[in-house]
């Protein structure tokens, strides 16, 4: 029976599985006759395989992903400073639903594989090599819990009762012993700089960047608006902020239809994702013909777009329609932001008045 591959990227074992697992096998495309010939259990298994495939059919190399990976390559490759020097960091900062976490994880996965292939699975001292560590923050992250999460990623045994200072020392030992070179910290927008605990965590990120010989890649939402780059300072005091001088901000833009290039990129995404569909009666070219409609439904946000496809494929299989069209996709509910923006975008597309302001408002 087909089952999802369940693991946590916040644990070394889960991250290793993510890095090393083989590509998912695409289910065969069956004709109507072949589909009808399946027994009830066989058809249920086949449909289950297709549901897993449509939900995990692979990452499409979008222009946004390629551009940020190129920038990250440059930043990481340039961070060759000796231990007494400060390394710069990258921060992927954008609106929700634009694939920030996916972009960071995919880069970390490729970097991890490259490091293991070049340097081997163990260090010269005989320790397990862990090229990348990754943690995701929570809304109640404190200085202690941040150190604890890094230690827990490596599986350090002394995490339950140790002090924040001891955990920081353990985290440093883990990074040094495992020769980690890249650290991904997701959801840093949960750090509230208006609170004492939040400011302490923000300052601790600077300490980690000073002490750990890694390049940090931070991921968050609306960090510029939250004054993250200003360290929570305002007015003339913003010149004192260290973060703005150390972090390189990498934005992720939604797809747009306001230029010919934007339309080409949007249609390329649709064509690439349509090739991944395993539906008996779906005909190539159906989705590209619905390019404006799909933009209307998703506001050009890649997360919403793939949610629409995944849920649409589930409905197409469950109902026996075995194809995606506008009528079926109209029955799929999406995230609230996409649903609220739909009417405005539909009117702009119908009248040929779509503008960058409309796209930004969505």
Assigned token pair, 105: 């994880």
Pairing outcome for strands 215-220 and 247-250:
unpaired
**Which residue, chain included where needed, has tokens 């390394």?**
87
Phi, psi of 137 (to 5 degrees): -80, 165
**Measured distance CA(89)–CA(228) in Å, rounded:** 13
Mean pLDDT, rounded, for 17-45: 95
Mean pLDDT, rounded, for 281-302: 94
**Measured distance CA(225)–CA(353) in Å, rounded:** 29
Q: Where are the alpha helices (DSSP H) in 120-230?
A: 143-154, 164-178, 196-211
**Measured distance CA(267)–CA(252) in Å, rounded:** 18
Q: What is the pLDDT of residues 144-203, one digit of tens each?
A: 999 999 999 999 998 878 898 999 999 999 999 999 999 999 999 888 877 788 888 888
**Which residue, chain included where needed, has tokens 């880069």?**
107
Whether the pLDDT of residue 235 is over 60: the answer is: no
Evaluate whether 191 touches 198 at the Cβ level (below 8 Å).
yes
- Average pLDDT, whole number, for the chain? 87
**Measured distance CA(318)–CA(300) in Å, rounded:** 27
Q: What is the pLDDT of residues 22-31, one digit of tens each?
A: 888 999 999 9
**Measured distance CA(5)–CA(18) in Å, rounded:** 9
Residue 234 confidence class, pLDDT cut points 50, 70, 90: very low
Assigned token pair, 123: 């260090």
Whether the pLDDT of residue 239 is over 60: the answer is: no
Whether the pLDDT of residue 116 is over 80: the answer is: yes
Looking at residue 325, its pLDDT comes to 96
**Which residue, chain included where needed, has tokens 């200072």?**
165
Q: What is the pLDDT of residues 59-71, one digit of tens each?
A: 899 999 999 999 9
Whether the pLDDT of residue 357 is over 70: the answer is: no
Q: Where are the alpha helices (DSSP H) in the chain?
A: 12-20, 32-37, 40-55, 63-78, 100-119, 143-154, 164-178, 196-211, 243-246, 260-274, 291-298, 302-319, 326-329, 336-351, 356-361
Looking at residue 208, its pLDDT comes to 87
Candidates 265, 186, 180, 258; CA nearest to 214 is 180
pTM summary value: 0.87
Cα 215 to the center of its chain, rounded Å: 18
**Measured distance CA(24)–CA(250) in Å, rounded:** 30
* Strand arrangement, sheet containing 89-93: 132-136, 182-186, 215-220, 89-93, 247-250
Looking at residue 240, its pLDDT comes to 36
> In sequence order, which residues have a C-beta less than 8 Å from that of residue 97 and are 6 or more positions away?
301, 302, 303, 304, 335, 337
Whether the pLDDT of residue 106 is over 80: the answer is: yes
| CB-CB neighbours of 23 under 10 Å | 8
Mean pLDDT, rounded, for 122-137: 96
Evaluate whether 328 touches 321 at the Cβ level (below 8 Å).
yes
Cα 114 to the center of its chain, rounded Å: 20
The CB-side HSE value for 160 (13 A sphere, CA atoms) comes to 1
Looking at residue 362, its pLDDT comes to 43
**Measured distance CA(361)–CA(182) in Å, rounded:** 35
Pairing outcome for strands 182-186 and 215-220:
parallel
Looking at residue 64, its pLDDT comes to 92
Whether the pLDDT of residue 222 is over 70: the answer is: yes
The CB-side HSE value for 327 (13 A sphere, CA atoms) comes to 5
Residue 83 confidence class, pLDDT cut points 50, 70, 90: low
Whether the pLDDT of residue 271 is over 80: the answer is: yes
Q: Which of 222-226, 293-297, 356-360 has the lowest mean pLDDT?
A: 356-360
Q: Which residues pair with 215 in a beta bridge?
A: 182
Give 101-106's long-range contacts (Cβ < 8 A, gap of 24+). Answer: 101/186, 101/219, 102/59, 102/65, 103/64, 103/65, 103/68, 103/69, 103/252, 104/184, 104/186, 104/217, 104/219, 105/9, 105/18, 105/134, 105/184, 106/59, 106/65, 106/69
Select the highest-mean-pLDDT range: 23-27, 239-243, 246-250.
Answer: 23-27
């Amino acid at each position: 029976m087909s089952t999802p591959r369940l693991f946590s990227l916040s644990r070394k074992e889960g991250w290793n599985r993510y890095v090393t697992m083989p590509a998912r096998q695409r289910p065969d495309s069956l004709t109507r006759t072949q589909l009808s010939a399946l027994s009830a259990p066989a058809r249920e298994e086949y449909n289950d395989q297709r549901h897993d495939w449509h939900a995990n059919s692979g990452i499409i190399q979008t222009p946004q992903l390629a551009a940020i990976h190129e920038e990250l390559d440059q930043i990481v490759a340039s961070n060759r400073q000796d231990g007494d020097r400060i390394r710069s960091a990258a921060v992927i900062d954008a609106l929700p639903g634009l694939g920030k976490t996916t972009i960071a994880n995919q880069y970390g996965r490729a970097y991890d594989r490259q490091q293991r292939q070049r340097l081997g699975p163990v260090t010269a001292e005989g320790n397990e090599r862990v090229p990348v560590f990754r943690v995701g923050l929570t809304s109640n992250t404190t200085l202690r819990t941040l150190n604890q999460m890094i230690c827990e990623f490596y599986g350090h045994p002394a995490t339950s009762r140790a002090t924040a200072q001891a955990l920081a020392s353990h985290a440093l030992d883990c990074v040094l012993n495992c020769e980690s070179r890249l650290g991904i910290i997701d959801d840093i927008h949960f750090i509230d700089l208006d609170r004492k605990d939040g400011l302490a965590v923000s300052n601790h990120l600077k300490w980690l960047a000073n002490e750990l010989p890694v390049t940090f890649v931070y991921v968050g939402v609306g960090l510029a608006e939250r004054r993250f780059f200003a360290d929570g300072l305002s007015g003339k005091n913003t010149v004192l902020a260290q973060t703005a001088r150390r972090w390189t901000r990498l934005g992720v833009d939604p797809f747009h239809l306001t230029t010919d290039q934007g339309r080409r990129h949007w249609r390329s995404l649709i064509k690439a994702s349509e090739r991944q569909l395993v539906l008996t009666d779906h005909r190539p070219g159906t989705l590209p013909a619905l390019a404006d409609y799909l933009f209307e439904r998703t506001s050009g946000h890649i997360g919403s777009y793939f949610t629409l496809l995944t849920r649409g494929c589930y409905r197409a299989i469950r109902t026996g329609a075995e194809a995606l069209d506008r009528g079926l996709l109209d029955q799929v509910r999406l995230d609230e932001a996409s649903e609220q923006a739909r009417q405005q975008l539909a009117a702009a597309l119908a009248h040929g008045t779509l503008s960058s302001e409309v796209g930004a408002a969505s």
